[in-house]
Amino acid sequence: MNTHRSASSHTPVLLSETLRALAVQPGGRYIDCTLGSGGHAASILDHSSPGGQLLGIDADPNAIEIAQERLQHYKDSIRLVNDNFVNLQAICHKYDFSPVHGILFDLGISSLQLNGNGRGFSFQFDAPLDMRFNPSQKVTAADIVNTTSEARLAHLIKTYGEESHSHQIARSIIKERPIETTRQLARLIERVVSRRGKLHPATKTFQALRIAVNHELEYLETALRQAIELLGFEGRLVVISYHSLEDRIVKQFMQREARNCICPPDTPTCVCHHTSRLRLINKKVITPSPMETSFNPRSRSAKLRATERIVTQGDSYATTEDHPFITIAKSSGWRRPALVKKIRTAFTAA
């Protein structure tokens, strides 16, 4: 069943690559931590049918509403939750949704959020300087711009926007405060910074403010740590990021969790006793094809990384029968007898 006919202006990025990386299979259980308008979720449900289940999370209540409509054909197989993925573990606990076969993070904002509707994410449309994923959050971009000291503002724009003119921009903001709208801020930056190639001078500052308003980097790190705990044996963790700051966090996290020792290189013997819990699926990052970037230019900065959960000594499954995936394997939807055999062999030998 293809549910992609519903009206939506967000095109899911790296869709077939995502399905492959998640190893979506009939009867599987999946979490989409960034549901958006449900593009990836619809395909995951298509490919995990019959018997597939999906827990979809989005901080934006508007996204949940749109996805709900789009995925109504699957209403018995989905649970959509308006929350922040920083609460991933608590959400899964509340809905008894673990272990799972795959978890997806498609980070950042959707085209629907970017394309106006008064959310203030883009300087292309005049709107109040807001940028909150969830309108019930307290702090808006205007609050940050109008109350932060010059030094802190410059630091924020430099760190989260990787903007080399951060000091000039911060100084100019302080002089012109209060700044209430996207256009007002964009025009101010245009006066301070000259255009570099195709990039609008305000792009980096807007990215910095959005990251700060939504605590994007801290929340991503926290959620990734929680995600590992929710994956069953051979469950997949797939992350699509759109800028270098996010991608660095994802890359370092996955590489660290795929290593047995994370001591500094000059440590003579291991003192960390870290054991790998993930296996890297793609050593090289996956990026969109030229064809995808030509029909969906917003995909051009996308980077996909994928890992698989492996069983470690730290996992304390007393017997093969206790392994949560054996339970799933025995239920009707699970179709991987080879995997069940592998788990049995591993634990019988141990």
- Chain residues binding ligand SAM by CB under 6 A are 10, 12, 34, 36-40, 57-60, 63, 84-86, 106, 108-110, 133, 219
> Considering beta carbons, is residue 48 or 84 the nearer one to ligand SAM?
84
The CB-of-243 to ligand SAM minimum distance in angstroms stands at: 12
Cβ contacts of 315 within 8 Å, gap of 6 or more: none
* Strand arrangement, sheet containing 29-32: 78-82, 53-58, 29-32, 100-106, 231-241, 303-309, 278-280
Give the position of tokens 């995502």.
Answer: 18
Give the position of tokens 């980070």.
Answer: 107
> Considering beta carbons, is residue 106 or 163 the nearer one to ligand SAM?
106
For the range 123-129, what are the long-range contacts, defined as Cβ-Cβ under 8 Å and sequence gap of 24 or more?
123/182, 123/183, 123/185, 123/186, 123/200, 123/202, 123/203, 123/206, 125/182, 126/181, 126/182, 126/183, 127/181, 127/182, 128/180, 128/181, 128/182, 129/179, 129/180, 129/181, 129/182, 129/184, 129/185, 129/209
The CB-of-188 to ligand SAM minimum distance in angstroms stands at: 27
Q: How far apart are CA 230 and CA 309, in angstroms?
A: 10
> Considering beta carbons, is residue 103 or 311 the nearer one to ligand SAM?
103
The CB-of-98 to ligand SAM minimum distance in angstroms stands at: 18
For residue 203, what are its two tokens? 């792009």
> Considering beta carbons, is residue 154 or 239 the nearer one to ligand SAM?
239
What distances in angstroms separate CA 205 from CA 134, 142, 297, one per listed residue?
Answer: 20, 13, 21
Q: Which amino acid is at 59?
A: A
The CB-of-32 to ligand SAM minimum distance in angstroms stands at: 7
> Considering beta carbons, is residue 23 or 81 the nearer one to ligand SAM?
81
The CB-of-227 to ligand SAM minimum distance in angstroms stands at: 12
The CB-of-26 to ligand SAM minimum distance in angstroms stands at: 21
The CB-of-34 to ligand SAM minimum distance in angstroms stands at: 3
3-class DSSP assignment, residue 287? coil
> Considering beta carbons, is residue 28 or 108 the nearer one to ligand SAM?
108
The CB-of-138 to ligand SAM minimum distance in angstroms stands at: 15
- The residue nearest ligand SAM at its CB is 36
Beta strand pairing call for 278-280 and 303-309: antiparallel
Q: Of 39, 22, 38, give the one whose Cα is nearest residue 30.
A: 22
> Considering beta carbons, is residue 63 or 131 the nearer one to ligand SAM?
63
According to DSSP, the residues that pair with 300 across neighbouring strands are none
According to DSSP, the residues that pair with 82 across neighbouring strands are 58
> Considering beta carbons, is residue 238 or 281 the nearer one to ligand SAM?
238
